[in-house]
Amino acid sequence: MSISALILLLAILAAFGFFIGRQKIHLQYKLQSDKPRITTLPKYFGYVAGLAALIPALLVLLILEVAETPWINHQISQEINTGLSVSEVQSSSDLDLFLNDIKNATTDREVAALTDEKKVIHEHYQRIVNTAQWGKTAVVLSLSVLLGLLALKRINIDTRARVLFEKTLEWILLAAASIAIMTTVGIVLSVLFESVRFFGDVPVVDFMFGTEWSPQTAIRADQVGSSAAFGAVPLFVGTMLISVIALFVSVPLGLMSAIYLSEYASRSVRAVAKPVLEILAGIPTVVYGFFAALTVAPFIRDMGESIGMSVASESALAAGLVMGIMIIPFVSSLADDVMSAVPQSLREGSLGLGATRSETIVKVLIPAALPGIVGGVLLAASRAIGETMIVVMAAGLAANLTANPLEAVTTVTVQIVTLLTGDQEFDSTKTLAAFALGLMLFITTLILNMIALYVVRKYREQYE
Amino acid sequence: MNNTVLVKKGLKKRYLKEKLFKSAGIVSIGIAFMFLLVLLTDVITKAIPAFTQTQVTLTVELNAEALDLNQNSSVDDIMQADFRQPIRDALKKRFDGVTKRNDKKQLYSLVSIGSEYQLRDLVLEDTSLIGTTLTYDFIADDDVDAVIKGAIDRELPESDRRVKNLKLSWIEEMETSGEIDTAFNWLFFSAGDSREPELAGIKGAILGSLYTLMVTLALSFPVAVAAAIYLEEFAPKNRFIDFIEININNLAAVPSIVFGLLGLAVFINFFSMPRSAPLVGGIVLSLMTLPTIIIASRSAIKAVPPSLREAALGLGASKMQTVFHHVLPAALPGILTGTIIGMAQALGETAPLLMIGMVAFIVDIPQSIGDPSTVLPIQVFLWADAPERGFLEKTSAAILVLLVFLITMNAVAIKLRKKFEKKW
């Protein structure tokens, strides 16, 4: 039975439990002669029975669903290793390929195209899959029916059904809130696990301080031009270079925009300008990437050539400029927030002493808002470091250790994308390297965000 | 006395500085606006040609014997028949005297390779066409399209031009006789991806985006609202709740590509879920949009005045009843606004989907959330990389469609916020 059908069936069982539960209480009440004061609405008895039939069964279904594929793989490889001897299978990677062929044959025609040896295994595979399917269905459904019946039997007119139901609901709400933790754990484990495997092949020191990056691993020992080197310094430098250019664009522009909007602009100007600035943050990054690669980069190259400079067609400058425009709203809205949080009395004091508005802003407002502004800049920096599509489309692919913004550089995110797209197996050093880069990226941005949030929060408490 | 003179002397300079400072603010906003304007104009002007398609009018003879078909042929037979030949014959008849092999090849390339399928579909629809002669507008090849739209400069010397003189003379002849014209490009909205720019459409990507967003919404909305309710209304003050809050805030700032790595390692490699499928894409995006919706929902719930809760509690409602019967309905507009904004983010997201293989070249239009498919931003990314010139306008047009969707979603969110904005 397919998973969607199973879930549907569970829902039907739960609804059934609800009606019977409610009906039971109705009946009990009718049968009682003295008609006591009832503390709970009948529908809550139904809810209790329905949840008992639904929630545990759903959880078990989820677990079984997760465990199914590994279990099937284990079973079939066991059978191949012990009972059936297969000439094609020599090593574990052979086994994977072999199993893939069998699993991919789903239609009759595809099955007919298999070799005889595979046909035999395919039959075994089908049997195991069927067993798993039926086992799963039986376990889940019987659990649902069993618990539903148990709940129905236990509830009677004196049960505090509402309290029971609300307690359960609270646990469900808590579980929903905990998904954030599970996601974080998932991220950390997935990048950490693969990174550890990577650092088994490549020493951490080589990765962190090596200056040569060429991830093409040699397939044969004597292959030319494929000496793998995993020194990530050029990627870090490239990322930094592009991020610094982006910040050089976004910090002054964002800050000045925020100052103008919060201190000078009239209400109507603000009402128009603020949302328009926010549009910049809402445009998909792939659009910026397209614009950077097809319009800005050629423009910069032509400009450079017209004054006799050689500019790479995928220059760090183009990617950085466009990224800088993209993060203007992040800087400006945060700066705007912290500046409007500065108490009016500070402004009035300064203006009252005869300072001009700009003097008030530069000498009073900005120093007072500085921690918040720094926090905003740090958040923008972490955006720039983690930004992917603009650099994938407009920065280069070749690792180039340079500080010249007119040359092509590559970044951490670009390398993650190039290493992980296309056909690949997931146990080569090359693909594992992407996870190590992902780990670096995660840690860097995490630290930056933590510092930024700390700075912003600390500042905000000063006036309260 | 002396001081007044000094102050007055300095005043002019200070006022100038003031003016400069103010204009610096205007200039920076101006730069941002200008950039936005340039970007939009650039995209729109590049996109406009994609909405028209050049067509070549040909008179095709559907010879029953040559096609080996008759009025009662089955669908299978029609699918097997060679519809390329009648089109070639029609072209040969139109420009007789073309004998050289190379010239013939150029002649045949006036129409798209999709034209034979156009013809086949016509016959499939109406078998009575077999044996007749019909005049029909066939899709032109992308080179012809480029010449007509002016993307290929006819004045260039032949050696620098993609379309050679002979072909150009045919195109011009047909153009003057009205056999080449342009029409609205319906195919762009009804076809899947293709290697041929003139046949490529975005329906597959739009549906893929739709399925992905459906999964994202179905997963993230209930979970986010539940989480927000718990954190605002029920959570005790303890370390565990603090930890949850820190995690939510952190997740909101994790680079999107890291979510892609999570999806690849956990859902694809560990759970063996299908690659390139909206199902996995939707799960990954829902984890990403979860913090956005939770944060928005929390502030919406927080904005509901305590008096509402107290009134409900005072009348004997339980805490849970108060929340679900009174607080949640009052906060719903705010929650929906946050959800739409989160969905808009998810719609524009590209990087995490690259990781889980949604970047594959997929021609078929996806039928369900388990089918391999692509999404709009990825379609943009794929086409932006394609070398054929015809894809440049398609890319811009796809961007335009994407932006239209985004602007609509944001407009709905703003409208919703305005409509339900309550001052308690």
Report in angstroms the alpha-carbon separations of A49 from A16, A28, A62, B319.
Answer: 9, 16, 21, 21
Percent of chain B clearing pLDDT 90 (strictly above): 44
Does position B405 have pLDDT exceeding 60, yes or no?
yes
Q: Report the distance separating Cα A81 and Cα B368, nearest Å.
A: 37
Count CB pairs under 8 A between chains A and B: 243
Task: Tell which B residues from 216 to 245 touch A, by Cβ distance under 8 Å.
Answer: 222-224, 226-227, 229-231, 234-235, 243-244
**Cα atoms in the 13 Å half-sphere on the side-chain side of A257:** 28
Distance from CA of A188 to the nearest CA of B (A): 8
Task: Tell which B residues from 7 to 46 touch A, by Cβ distance under 8 Å.
Answer: 14-15, 17-18, 20-22, 24-29, 31-33, 35-36, 38-39, 42-43
| Integer-rounded Cα radius of gyration of chain A | 32
* Tokens 């409509």, residue located: B419
pLDDT at B239: 92
Distance from CA of A279 to the nearest CA of B (A): 9
- The highest-confidence range among A217-221, A459-463, B411-415, by mean pLDDT, is B411-415
Q: Report the distance separating Cα A435 and Cα A426, nearest Å.
A: 11
Q: Average pLDDT in the B282-309 region? A: 94
- Take residue A234 and report the two structure tokens written for it: 């050029």
Q: Report the distance separating Cα A108 and Cα B92, nearest Å.
A: 45
Give the ipTM of the model, two decimals please.
0.90
A402 band by pLDDT with thresholds 50, 70 and 90: confident
Closest CA to B332 of B263, B257, B422, B394: B422
Collect contacts of B118-124 with beta carbons under 8 A, ≥24 apart.
Answer: B119/B60, B119/B62, B119/B83, B119/B86, B119/B87, B120/B78, B120/B79, B120/B81, B120/B83, B123/B62, B123/B69, B123/B78, B123/B81, B123/B83, B124/B75, B124/B78, B124/B79
Q: Flag if A166 and B24 touch (Cβ within 8 Å).
A: no
pLDDT at B60: 86
Query: How does pLDDT run across A406-459, given as a tens digit for each residue?
Result: 888 899 999 999 888 866 666 678 888 899 999 999 999 999 988 888 887 776
Sort out which chain B residues have CB atoms less than 8 A from A416's CB and list them: 257, 261, 355
Distance from CA of B29 to the nearest CA of A (A): 5
In terms of DSSP H, where are the helices of B237-318? 239-253, 256-262, 278-303, 306-314
Beta bridge partners of B140: B111
Q: Report the distance separating Cα A294 and Cα A280, nearest Å.
A: 19
- Take residue B189 and report the two structure tokens written for it: 């909205």
Q: Flag if B262 and A183 touch (Cβ within 8 Å).
A: yes
Does the predicted model carry a pTM greater than 0.95? no
Which amino acid is residue A194, in one-letter code?
Answer: E
Of A259, A283, A416, the CB nearest to B25: A259
Q: Report the distance separating Cα B209 and Cα B278, nearest Å.
A: 8
Beta bridge partners of B53: B183
- The highest-confidence range among A74-78, A442-446, B269-273, by mean pLDDT, is A442-446
Q: Tell me whether A412 touches chain B (CB under 8 Å).
A: no
Is B137 within 8 Å of B55 (Cβ atoms)? yes
Distance from CA of A228 to the nearest CA of B (A): 22
Nearest-5° Cα angle at A296, A290 to A298:
100
A87 band by pLDDT with thresholds 50, 70 and 90: low
pLDDT at A423: 60
DSSP state of B140: B
- Take residue A295 and report the two structure tokens written for it: 């319009």
Average pLDDT, chain A: 85
- Give the count of beta carbons closer than 10 Å to the beta carbon of residue A329: 24
Three-class SS state of A342 = coil
Q: Report the distance separating Cα B357 and Cα A127, nearest Å.
A: 31
Does position A90 have pLDDT exceeding 70, yes or no?
no
Of B35, B257, B259, the CB nearest to A325: B35
- Take residue A168 and report the two structure tokens written for it: 């359960």
- The highest-confidence range among A96-110, A446-460, B181-195, by mean pLDDT, is B181-195
Q: Flag if A187 and B261 touch (Cβ within 8 Å).
A: yes
Q: Average pLDDT in the A134-142 region? A: 91
Closest CA to B278 of B407, B197, B365: B365
Report in angstroms the alpha-carbon separations of B258 from A188, A326, B172, B352, B354.
Answer: 10, 20, 53, 7, 11
Is A43 within 8 Å of A17 (Cβ atoms)? no
- Take residue B172 and report the two structure tokens written for it: 């011009």
Q: Average pLDDT in the B110-139 region? A: 85
Of A256, A295, A445, the CB nearest to B28: A256
Q: Flag if A170 and B320 touch (Cβ within 8 Å).
A: yes
Q: Tell me whether A162 touches chain B (CB under 8 Å).
A: yes
Is A296 within 8 Å of A318 (Cβ atoms)? yes
* Tokens 């996109």, residue located: B47
Pair type for strands B180-184 and B52-61? antiparallel
- Take residue A364 and report the two structure tokens written for it: 């009073």
Distance from CA of A431 to the nearest CA of B (A): 11
Query: How does pLDDT run across B318-365, given as a tens digit for each residue?
Result: 999 999 999 999 999 899 999 999 999 999 999 999 988 888 888 888
Does position A225 have pLDDT exceeding 60, yes or no?
no
* Tokens 């507009």, residue located: B333
pLDDT at B174: 86
Q: Flag if B266 and A442 touch (Cβ within 8 Å).
A: no
Which amino acid is residue A27, in one-letter code?
Answer: L
Is A148 within 8 Å of A56 (Cβ atoms)? no
Does position A101 have pLDDT exceeding 80, yes or no?
no
Q: Tell me whether A382 touches chain B (CB under 8 Å).
A: yes
Q: Report the distance separating Cα A330 and Cα B328, nearest Å.
A: 30
Stated length of chain B = 424
Q: Report the distance separating Cα A132 and Cα A69, nearest Å.
A: 9
Sort out which chain A residues have CB atoms less than 8 A from B359's CB and list them: 421
Is B360 within 8 Å of B277 (Cβ atoms)? no
Q: Flag if A187 and B32 touch (Cβ within 8 Å).
A: no
Q: Report the distance separating Cα B62 and Cα B55, nearest Å.
A: 20
Does position A77 have pLDDT exceeding 70, yes or no?
yes
Report in angstroms the alpha-carbon separations of B335 from A113, A444, B290, B303, B329.
Answer: 54, 32, 12, 11, 10
Q: Flag if B257 and A416 touch (Cβ within 8 Å).
A: yes
Closest CA to A167 of A44, A62, A63: A44
pLDDT at A462: 59
Does position B260 have pLDDT exceeding 90, yes or no?
yes
Distance from CA of A222 to the nearest CA of B (A): 31
Report in angstroms the alpha-carbon separations of B118 from B49, B78, B85, B137, B148.
Answer: 22, 13, 13, 10, 21
C-alpha B126, offset from chain centre? 34
Does position B123 have pLDDT exceeding 80, yes or no?
yes
Q: Report the distance separating Cα B40 and Cα B27, nearest Å.
A: 20
Sort out which chain B residues have CB atoms less than 8 A from A359's CB and list them: 14, 17-18
Q: Report the distance separating Cα A169 and Cα A235, nearest Å.
A: 48
Beta bridge partners of B181: B55
* Tokens 């139901």, residue located: A165
- Give the count of beta carbons closer than 10 Å to the beta carbon of residue B344: 23
Q: Report the distance separating Cα B93 and Cα A136, nearest Å.
A: 67
B300 band by pLDDT with thresholds 50, 70 and 90: very high
Does position A308 have pLDDT exceeding 70, yes or no?
yes
A461 band by pLDDT with thresholds 50, 70 and 90: low
Interface-testing mutation among B23, B231, B257, B272, with chain A (most A C-beta atoms within 10 A): B257
Query: How does pLDDT run across A257-270, given as a tens digit for each residue?
Result: 999 998 899 999 98
Collect contacts of A62-68 with beta carbons under 8 A, ≥24 apart.
Answer: A64/A136, A64/A139, A64/A140, A65/A3, A65/A136, A66/B271, A68/A132, A68/A136
pLDDT at A463: 60
Residue B394: Cβ-neighbour burial (10 angstroms; 0-12, 13-18, 19+): buried
Longest dimension (CA), chain A: 103
